[in-house]
Structure 1
Amino acid sequence: MTKNENENKNKNGFELAANAALLVIDVQKGFDDASFWGPRNNPAAEANIAALMDAWQESGRPVVLVRHASRAGSVLAADQPGHAFKDFVADRTGQESLLVTKTVNSSFYGTPDLAAWLTAQGIGQLVVSGIQTNMCVETTARMAGNLGYDVLVPLDATHTFDLEGPDGLRLTADQLAAATAVNLQGGRFARVVNTAQLLAVSGAARLTV
């Protein structure tokens, strides 16, 4: 580790493993349908995810793309245009180390088996990004923490949508993202970080977010 890398580690409070895997979850065109999902938060999410993907490629770390295949009737169904990756991810396909397809919230219940692949590669640290913050990102991060992985979640490289729950209770996307941050770090499933911190310790050239 160079002097600058060590200083970055001390400043940010964590170290990024040489083989830390970046999970990019469900960054699909179907999530652009505001009439289906409603208001979203964090318009910078896509730029931050792209910056992380570029940094991971430059530093030679593995990238895992995860794609949701909903059942019929959803904008994310495999036979719908919304199933496709957003353009900035599609432009970077072919660089990933693994592509996982899932039908539920957790990336660990997909094909091929994510945990088996991580074990075979000797990977113990995961950086979890993507859509939606409080759904597939949080579920994957929680399960990864339960499985013993060291999990980092750059909250600004995720986004979600307003959501209504019981008795008409409605939370905004920002409120849901804040709850996810508290759940993950307060529950010791993961450390919540930001994109700039990860870029600073990635070992890649400085990138603009």
Structure 2
Amino acid sequence: MEIAENTALVVVDVQKGFEEEFWGQRNNPAAEGNIAALIDLWQETGRPVVFVRHDSPAGSRSPLRVGHVGNEFKEFVEERRGKGNGPELLVTKSVNSAFYGEPSLDVWLKGEGIAQIVFVGIQTNMCNETTARMGGNLGYDVVFALDAMHTFGLEGPFGWSATAEELTRATAVSLHGGGFARVVSTEDVLKGAAAR
């Protein structure tokens, strides 16, 4: 895998609120360690890093609501912000896609001449998948580091439900098979970035 010298790492919604019981059973306990490893390499090599934060409305019940401790980034992310040698951006949003956040992710990426983006963060099948699909539609070379993210099980219509792992697989198949993104491992990305 080839990871360009100006490829952006987009770290989506790695916030304390996702540690609350509100969400249910999660998968992939290795996600945080993989996210940290990717941020570290990006910062060491001067590549651009985008931190995305979900700001739910202050009056909502969401653990990600503004003014609640859950809105804050997890410690391992917060302690890395501002420590890199390359460009860094904070995007805040209130919907699933980081392309609908402030400031405009698309405008910033184009302004920096960035054509390739690597996604990591929370949740795999929600904000990560939505943003990756939009990135693919906008013409970016989207890389989806599946083991550097996690999600939670969901109840759906008709009495259907899916575990976090089932949703992860469905996302991976939809994105990769549908041509929206290349779904890869953290190791694939680390090797590709270190080879440059």
The answer to whether the aligner puts 1:19 opposite 2:6 as a matched pair is yes
Identity %: 62
Aligned to 1:39: 25
Aligned to 2:139: 148
Aligned to 1:65: 51
Query: Using the alignment, how far apart are the partners of 2:62 and 2:43 within structure 1?
Result: 32
Amino acid at match of 2:154: L
The answer to whether the aligner puts 1:110 opposite 2:97 as a matched pair is no
Query: Using the alignment, how far apart are the partners of 1:18 and 1:81 within structure 2?
Result: 35
Residues matched between the structures, number: 191
The answer to whether the aligner puts 1:87 opposite 2:78 as a matched pair is no
Q: Aligned-pair distance for 1:111?
A: 0.4
- TM-score, normalization: structure 2? 0.95
> CA offsets, 1:68-105, max 9 Å, x none?
00122211011100000001001101136100000000
Deviates more, 1:188-197 or 1:71-80: 71-80
Aligned to 1:4: none
Query: Using the alignment, how far apart are the partners of 2:83 and 2:172 within structure 1?
Result: 29
Aligned to 1:8: none
Q: Aligned-pair distance for 1:42?
A: 0.1
Q: Of the two, which has the highest radius of gyration? A: 1
**1:123 aligns to what SS in structure 2?**
coil
Query: Using the alignment, how far apart are the partners of 1:73 and 1:79 within structure 2?
Result: 12
Quick check: 2:2–2:193 contact (8 Å CA) kept in 1? no
Q: Which runs of 5+ in 2 are unaligned?
A: none
Runs of 4+ in structure 1 deviating by more than 4 angstroms, as ranges, are none
The answer to whether the aligner puts 1:139 opposite 2:130 as a matched pair is yes
2:36 corresponds, among 50, 61, 79, to: 50
The answer to whether the aligner puts 1:75 opposite 2:66 as a matched pair is no
User: What value does the CA root-mean-square deviation take over the aligned residues?
Assistant: 1.2
Query: Using the alignment, how far apart are the partners of 2:152 and 2:83 within structure 1?
Result: 29
